[in-house]
Structure formats: C-alpha cells, structure tokens
Structure 1
Amino acid sequence: MSSQLRVRLREAITWRGDRTDDNRYADVTGWWRAPALLRELGPALGALFEAERPTVVLGPESRGCLLGPLVAMHLGVGFVEVRKNRGPCCDSDAWRLRTTPPDYHDRHLELGFRKHLVRASDRVLFVDEWIETGGQALGVQGLAEDAEATWLGAATIVDALPGNEVRRRLGLRSLVNIRDL
C-alpha cells in the first residue's frame, strides 16, 4: 500500500470530542465522500490477502457491507453480508447464527448469514473498516468454522486492537494502525 493512501486516510478522518472525552470517536465518513480514496480501498484491502485466493468475502453490517463488495469485485469473488441482530424474518431460509464476544460497546451481538451462501469449499476473507476488540470478527470466524469453510483472515482499514492475541487468532492485516491516525 502506498504511503499516499495512508496520508489520505488520515486526512479524511475527523475526530469528534475532546482527547479527554470517553466518548471521543473517529468519524470516517470522509472516507466514503472522497471518490479517489473510495476507489482505492477495495484493491488495497484485497491486496492484503490476494495470494491466499479467497473465494468469498464476508462483511458485517454496516460498513463491512460497504467495503466488502469493493474488495470482492477487486478479487473477482462473491460477497456475503453478515447481519447483526436480524430478528424474526418472514423468509424461510435457514440461517447460520453466532453470538459474539463483547464488541467495542461491550455488547454481545447475534451475527448471521443464510446457510447456503457459505460452503465448506469456501476460502473466507472477513472485511471491515475498523477493529477494536475483535468481537465481531471472532463471531464471523466462528460462523465460517460452523460452515466448515477455510478462514483466511481479516482485512481492515484500521487496526485498533490493544494486543496481539486476537490479531494472531484472526490473521488480521490492516492498512493502518490506530496510532498512525
């Protein structure tokens, strides 16, 4: 990945709240508004796992559903959205479901996708914009294991994990580390 992409990612982010505020957060909506940056994100994230030859990209609602198709198009593979707390539905499709470890808001979410969309022969790549605790990615990893698919790893724009244990378990590769923003 080019150093120019890192610079553009940093410039397009806005921090909301004071540095001492517990509710301070990164507003990444500037990434979606910059067409040149948006055009580069799919190829940059896809390149992190291109050699592993994924057959499907999984992305959680909501931003993983924005980035995942960009990565899937770059890799020439399909995309499966991972829904959060989908609740009762009128369709009769069978779903694969998992409850996550705590996420960045200390919530346990129910993640899922339709069973027929991920097969045992698949090589799965998880994509999202930010990883802070790894809860959602670990939940999706569990879903892939339940489907007997091969987990290749997780590709994110920002790695904000505090330690290496979850990073190694997920096979995480990112474009930038939180300290670079």
Structure 2
Amino acid sequence: MAASDDCRLDLIKSLVRAFPDFPKKGIIFRDICPILKSPEALSAVISLFEQHVREKFQKVDLVVGLDARGFLFGPLLAQRLGVGFVLVRKKGKLPGATVSVAYDLEYGKAEAEIQEDAVSPGQKVILIDDLLATGGTLYAACALMQQQRAEVLGCLVVMELKDLNGADKLKPHHVHSLLQY
C-alpha cells in the first residue's frame, strides 16, 4: 500500500466516531457521518474504492448500492468508473415490476429487491455498502444478482466488523473493506 493510501485511510479512520451502547447496550455504533461531511474524506473513500476496482477488474458494467448508505457511495463510484448505478432497496420501496429475496437479520427477517430490468444477464457488477456486519444484507444482494444471472465481481464496504464473520457468509465473493474493527 502506498504512503498516500495510508494517509487517506488515516483521514477516513480519524473521522469515524464510536458511540458505545447504541442502539442498545453492548454495541459500539461506528458513525460515518463525519466522513460524509468532509469533502476530502469522502473523496478519499471513493478514490480508494476506484483504485481497488481498477486494479482488480478489467470490466465493470454496474455499481449496485445497498439501501441506504450504499446509495451515498455507489453513485460517486459509478460516476468515476463511467458506469451505471442500480439500487437494492427494502421491499416495497421501488415502483414497477421487482425481484426480491428474503433474508435473516439479527432480530428478524427482511426482504431486499431490485427493479426487474435493473440488471441484465451477464452484466458484471460491484456491490457497495457502508458496513459489513453479519453479512445478511450483502448476501441478499448477491442472491438478487444471481437471480438476475449477473456476475458479482466483489463487494466494497467502508467498514467491516471482523468479529461477526460477515465475509465468510459471502464466500466465494470477495469483500474489500477500507477499515476493519
């Protein structure tokens, strides 16, 4: 990793705030809002993602962002890569014909969906979100891409909570995280 990469990562990490016991006792919430507030830090996140994608993949057709914070990073990355952006939303939030998949949460069940015509068979996609915890939401998004017969090149996240082993749930898909806690 180049020194400039280290500087960008240091900047990003310095802006992540930890809130103990939120939303409940025993959980440390990692807040990325200060990153979004800093043009320099936000640019650093997108630049590091762009660098990773360009080094690892010859062709990307779409960036797929997960509800809701993947919507913040995804369009910026898609614009830098010169490709389109697609939304994966919670069930019932998209108009028109949709495709959905159910998945488990730590506290129940949920469904993720995309518009039926959002991804075409054979398209090469990168998934993006702010956080990888248990992997449920990214797993559901990968399943949606598989249903649409798209090729998932990899998953990008700003932060990964390593102790929760979410990356294991996503295998064989590669996860690239900027920060690990």
- Aligned runs of 1:99-110 on 2, under 5 Å? 99-102=102-105, 105-110=106-111
Residues 1:76 and 1:170: Cα distance change in structure 2 (over 3 Å): same
Which position in structure 2 is the counterpart of 1:43?
47
Deviation at 1:44, TM superposition (A): 1.2
* C-alpha RMSD of the superposition: 2.1
CA contact (8 A) 1:45 1:71 kept: yes
TM norm structure 1: 0.86
Q: How many Å separate the matches in 2 of 1:100 and 1:31?
A: 29
CA contact (8 A) 2:139 2:170 kept: no
- Aligned runs of 1:50-61 on 2, under 5 Å? 50=54, 51-52=56-57, 53-61=59-67
Equivalent of 1:64 in 60, 66, 70: 70
Q: How many Å separate the matches in 2 of 1:49 and 1:166?
A: 21
CA contact (8 A) 2:126 2:156 kept: yes
Q: How many Å separate the matches in 1 of 2:48 and 2:20?
A: 29
CA contact (8 A) 2:98 2:114 kept: yes
Which position in structure 1 is the counterpart of 2:150?
149
Which position in structure 2 is the counterpart of 1:170?
173
Flag structure 2 segments of 5+ consecutive residues without an equivalent: none
Runs of 4+ in 1 over 6 A off after TM superposition: none
| Percent identity of paired positions between Structure 1 and Structure 2 | 22
Deviation at 1:145, TM superposition (A): 0.4
Q: How many Å separate the matches in 1 of 2:89 and 2:78?
A: 17
Which position in structure 2 is the counterpart of 1:95?
98
Secondary structure class of the residue paired with 2:149: coil
CA contact (8 A) 1:48 1:155 kept: no
TM norm structure 2: 0.86
CA offsets, 1:18-69, max 9 Å, x none?
Answer: 69x4143111100100111112222211322223221001111110000110
Which position in structure 1 is the counterpart of 2:91?
85
Structure with greater strand percent: 2
Deviation at 1:160, TM superposition (A): 1.3
Q: How many Å separate the matches in 2 of 1:109 and 1:143?
A: 14
CA contact (8 A) 2:12 2:45 kept: no
CA contact (8 A) 2:21 2:29 kept: no
CA contact (8 A) 1:72 1:79 kept: yes
